[in-house]
Structure 1
């Protein structure tokens, strides 16, 4: 999915269900997709559980939205976020929403926003239920925002991951021309459309090109398009080259 850096985004944070330490990395990730015109964090700020958030709220200019916990078993924060999200949706001022939570309660909200033609970026821990992940256009695991750098064991693990290899091969084939070549951006878009939580960082690589290069089962070319134009990566399944050479 191509990102629009001019997109106007609303960022809604379930502070009861997220860690304050990832906020700086979260906002840096969101900046790849657009500009956060609204940044709100929801929770009961009168209690001790969210005291670690207060410095981050000030530093990142995030508006705290007070929601008292009326009972221990009912999450009133979720309800407040959903109501505000719908109010913001109806203003027609936004191109997309960023929802930070690992809670399945936001599944229907994400679906409803997408039904209105807006893009939904979800953020949450790996424990996030698949229903919420699938309801988003793109889902980023917060562990990937502060994860380790690539290492040789990680590269070997990616290369031996048959499910990953098949997923990449299918995406490359779907995006390829008659000679088997596909632009890497098109491959990435297909991967995200099929699996909103696909992320090369899950496998220890900051970029899709690094992941594909490490697997060594694909031809990868960087093609210059001329002066003043950004080079474009093209990828091909090596099996297509072998068939052509026979």
Structure 2
């Protein structure tokens, strides 16, 4: 018998966002699916999990164990002609079918293919959250079409104890190499300093202070693929605190709350 206390706790909790996870097997790797699903769990519940590809080919053999273990439904799609990708069409058709059920709060598209840019834009037009997962080679068009784009290399590196920063795909942004002597910063990483400063100016109040959550939200709105883990930091707060040359930080307890929250300001 289920405890009445447990039932009351469950009923009092806010319902998780319902997410549809659609995986392009031609542009995803089986080894990173479990970290992707763990990341998706931070945003909501994966109520639909489907993967699209030709699973009769030898190249798809690595998927079998992963699909069974994680309850992912395979959607078999034969290649009708050489050089044409029938998988994309099948995934897009299913996505639109799921969209019109009106049962979902968002979609997770696992692919590094820019051909899904139009799909991501269409889902956003319907007011749904779009999360993209792909490799660093993913074109900017698809990254920008998502509310958040998460690099699979970051998730893969988090599986090991030694997290290596990535060589971030850089376009039209001023990059500043981090000093090897700065505490807790990996010198191989490049941080978009000017972008961070501009985002802080836009998200701060009249006094120049910004709540960390507001700052982080603005970062991902402007640059959906921004992720502090790509620069060697597990959390945005760690990145901000490490850059004493850029930011002043202060912990406050907001009125009516008990926990401290981090605020930051541009260092003059």
Match of 1:181 in 2: 209
The Cα shift of 1:26 comes to 0.2
The Cα shift of 1:149 comes to 2.6
**CA spacing shift, 1:159–1:39, aligned 2, 3 Å:** closer
Match of 1:213 in 2: 241
TM-score (norm 1): 0.89
- Note if 1:101 corresponds to 2:98: no
The Cα shift of 1:5 comes to 7.3
Aligned residues between the structures: 234
Trace 1:189-200 onto structure 2 (pairs within 5 A). Answer: 189-200=217-228
Match of 2:133 in 1: 123
**Structure number with higher relative contact order (C-alpha < 8 Å, ≥ 6 residues apart):** 1
The Cα shift of 1:65 comes to 0.7
2-side partners of 1:89 and 1:74: how far apart? 25
**CA spacing shift, 1:167–1:141, aligned 2, 3 Å:** same
Per-residue displacement from partner, 1:183-203 (whole Å, max 9, x unpaired)?
Answer: 001001111111111111111
- Note if 1:146 corresponds to 2:146: no
Per-residue displacement from partner, 1:110-131 (whole Å, max 9, x unpaired)?
Answer: 0000001101000100100111
Q: In structure 1, the residue corresponding to 2:237 is in which secondary structure?
A: helix
Per-residue displacement from partner, 1:199-234 (whole Å, max 9, x unpaired)?
Answer: 111111111111111222211222234787443111
Q: Which has the higher helix share?
A: 1
- Note if 1:21 corresponds to 2:20: no
TM-score (norm 2): 0.82
Q: In structure 1, the residue corresponding to 2:207 is in which secondary structure?
A: coil
- Note if 1:204 corresponds to 2:232: yes
Deviates more, 1:202-211 or 1:104-113: 202-211
Per-residue displacement from partner, 1:114-173 (whole Å, max 9, x unpaired)?
Answer: 001101000100100111111111100100112243798582548974xx1111111111
Q: In structure 1, the residue corresponding to 2:138 is in which secondary structure?
A: coil
Q: CA RMSD in A?
A: 2.1
Trace 1:21-100 onto structure 2 (pairs within 5 A). Answer: 21-100=31-110
**Is the 8 Å Cα contact of residues 186 and 232 (structure 2) preserved in structure 1?**
no
**Is the 8 Å Cα contact of residues 253 and 261 (structure 2) preserved in structure 1?**
yes
**CA spacing shift, 1:227–1:117, aligned 2, 3 Å:** closer
Q: Which runs of 5+ in 2 are unaligned?
A: 1-13, 166-178
1-side partners of 2:105 and 2:190: how far apart? 39
Match of 1:110 in 2: 120
1-side partners of 2:65 and 2:188: how far apart? 38
Q: Which runs of 5+ in 1 are unaligned?
A: 240-246
